A and B are shown apart, each in its own frame.
Chain A
Amino acid sequence: MEAVQECKLPQPLVDGVKGAVIEVLDSICGTSSEHAAGEHAELASGVIGVISLIGQDAWSMMVGLPKDTAVAFARQFTGSEVAYDSRDMGDVVGELANIIAGQAAGRMEAAGMKANLSLPTIARGNGISVPLQYELPSVCIGFLCPQGDLWVRIASAKRSPSRRFRPASSICRS
């Protein structure tokens, strides 16, 4: 289960992402709110979109949509039916991640934290969970919109983090 370590994340980052999610969902879905029940980065069945931002610090964002939310959101976003197991679903969730990250990056830049966005990576599956990474403080925030619930997980680290694990092989690069 995802551990919440919000205190270790830069507050402008958390606030920026929260604000961006609400703004984006409001504009697409009409309304949205934080949803305490979605504070664990887990999906019984659904789609995840991962996007990273690299600047003075590095941070990443994962958007998780349960299957029913993904289908309803895609319908709202595109104005037509998008099959859950279609390639178009990847475009929808990728675009959602991209828009949220772009909005958040704008807010971060205003707070003096400029960053470049990566490509979004999209995956679909069952029983999805996100293991805690010790060196990456993270928080998962649940949201609710008329199309259903979803969550956004944020992780952040200083650039060039030290490694906790060293490769066992002596010839492996460090």
Chain B
Amino acid sequence: METVECRNKSEMPCALMDCITEAVTSTFASIYGREPLEKDGSSGASDGDSVLGIISLVGGLQCSIVLGLPRETAKAVTAKFAGFEIDYDGPDMGDVVGELANVVAGDAAGRLESHGIKADLSLPTVARGSDVEMIQQDKTMSRLVHYECTDGGFWVRISAEARPTARN
């Protein structure tokens, strides 16, 4: 089940939502061998330490994807993704979470292209913090999806400015 935080829920492009959530599911399924479960969630706030992977798609649409990994989930997921243990507080965490965001966004971009929506990926940006809360802006639509994988929970926030325009 998804937590919907759209100020203009009806305008959130379905293709965008579908492509990104499918990309998240597919990426984590490829890491774990099984799909993560969507679960109930109530807010965009993360209690305790977490690391964020932030990446944008620019082109036929404007959207951003934030992958939020609580500390323990981050340590477990990055170890499986990279193939070796990653120190949560070390610099490698930035590279691995950035690359994970890149894989999710790249998968989503490929799916969007099959819908006629071409978009380029931005650089991934990674930030660590505690009690981190994403703030929705007035002119954006946003949706927060919580997941549970084998090693713990994580969330993905999708924000978009406008409907994507299909290219002929």
Residues of A within 8 A of B (CB): 43, 47-48, 50, 52-54, 58-60, 62, 87, 89-91, 93-94, 116-136, 155-157, 163-169, 171-173
Give B31's nearest chain A residue, CB to CB.
A169
15 A-B residue pairs with Cβ-Cβ distance under 8 Å, sorted by A, are A87-B136, A118-B62, A121-B66, A121-B134, A122-B137, A123-B66, A125-B129, A125-B132, A126-B129, A129-B127, A131-B51, A133-B94, A164-B99, A167-B31, A167-B82
Contact among B57, B83, B130, B136 with A125 in the assembled complex (CB-CB below 8 Å) = B130
Closest 9 A-B residue pairs measured CB to CB?
A131-B94, A90-B135, A52-B122, A118-B56, A168-B83, A125-B132, A125-B129, A128-B129, A172-B30
Contact among A54, A58, A87, A131 with B126 in the assembled complex (CB-CB below 8 Å) = A131
Interface range on chain B (Cβ under 8 Å from partner):
35 or more
Contact among A54, A93, A121, A167 with B159 in the assembled complex (CB-CB below 8 Å) = A121
Tell me, yes or no, whether B4 is within 8 Å of chain A by CB.
Answer: no
Known: A91-B138, A123-B134, A169-B33. A48 touches B127 (CB 8 A): yes
When chains A and B are docked, how far (Å) is the Cα of A168 from the Cα of B91? 19
When chains A and B are docked, how far (Å) is the Cα of A101 from the Cα of B35? 38
When chains A and B are docked, how far (Å) is the Cα of A124 from the Cα of B44? 11
Give, as a whole number of angstroms, the nearest-CB distance from A157 to chain B.
Answer: 6
Tell me, yes or no, whether B36 is within 8 Å of chain A by CB.
Answer: no
Decide if A157 touches B93 in the complex (CB within 8 Å). no
Chain A residue contacts of B126, Cβ below 8 A: 130-131, 133
Decide if A131 touches B83 in the complex (CB within 8 Å). no
Chain A residue contacts of B125, Cβ below 8 A: 50, 52, 60, 62, 130, 155
When chains A and B are docked, how far (Å) is the Cα of A130 from the Cα of B132? 13
Give B66's nearest chain A residue, CB to CB.
A121
Known: A130-B127, A131-B126. A119 touches B95 (CB 8 A): no
Tell me, yes or no, whether B20 is within 8 Å of chain A by CB.
Answer: no
When chains A and B are docked, how far (Å) is the Cα of A152 from the Cα of B96? 23
When chains A and B are docked, how far (Å) is the Cα of A119 from the Cα of B137? 10
Contact among B82, B94, B122 with A60 in the assembled complex (CB-CB below 8 Å) = B122
Give B132's nearest chain A residue, CB to CB.
A125
Chain A residue contacts of B122, Cβ below 8 A: 52-54, 58, 60, 118
Chain B residue contacts of A93, Cβ below 8 A: 135
Decide if A91 touches B83 in the complex (CB within 8 Å). no
When chains A and B are docked, how far (Å) is the Cα of A167 from the Cα of B102? 12
Decide if A127 touches B133 in the complex (CB within 8 Å). no
Give, as a whole number of angstroms, the nearest-CB distance from B159 to chain A.
Answer: 6
When chains A and B are docked, how far (Å) is the Cα of A48 from the Cα of B52? 12
Chain B residue contacts of A94, Cβ below 8 A: 135, 137
Chain A residue contacts of B59, Cβ below 8 A: 116
Give, as a whole number of angstroms, the nearest-CB distance from A123 to chain B.
Answer: 5
Give A171's nearest chain B residue, CB to CB.
B30
Known: A132-B94, A167-B81. A119 touches B56 (CB 8 A): yes
